[in-house]
Amino acid sequence: MTLYKILVFIHIFSAIMGVGPGFILTTVVKSGKTMTELRHSYAIRHRLHIFVMIGGTLLLVSGLGLGLLNPALFRQGWYVTSLILFLIALAIGPVMLSPRSKPIKAMLESHQGEEIPEEYWKLSKELFKYENLENFIIMIIIALMILKPF
């Protein structure tokens, strides 16, 4: 097996490992109906996010490795567009998601009682809006990788 084929394997495996769980992060926490359930949902989400981070890192490294082994990829519009979109998706994490998830994490730690506070719904709606944007960007990247339209 050539190095290129090994990188393709790593790239596809990383996409499955990282992108798959990323699509359900929002869904997991939407099922919580009490604070206990919500805390448990966010704990599961945190564990899934580890796969997303590892898979995402391997995706970037293997994708760039494929480009280095086959420099013609850097002249392909689908490859360059996918890379730019992926970097945008990566930036959404610390720029948009992290600041919006911190108040939710603080609320989960400090709130007493089982009733989910109204403030949570407002905060989570804002967070989920950016998570959905990120998922949409990832879907575009997947389509570009499959179709290679330009």
Domain range enclosing 41: 3-147
Q: pTM for the complete prediction?
A: 0.89
pLDDT of residue 1 exceeding 90, the answer is no
Average of per-residue pLDDT across 111-121: 95
DSSP one-letter string for the chain: --HHHHHHHHHHHHHHHHHHHHHHHHHHHHT--SHHHHHHHHHHHHHHHHHHHHHHHHHHHHHHHHHHHSGGGGG-HHHHHHHHHHHHHHHHIIIIIHHHHHHHHHHHHH--SSSPPHHHHHHHHHHHHHHHHHHHHHHHHHHHHHH---
Confidence bin at 31 (pLDDT 50/70/90)? confident
Q: How many domains does the chain have?
A: 1
* Structure tokens belonging to residue 123: 């905060």
Question: What's the pLDDT tens digit per position in 37-64?
Answer: 999 999 999 999 999 999 999 999 999 9
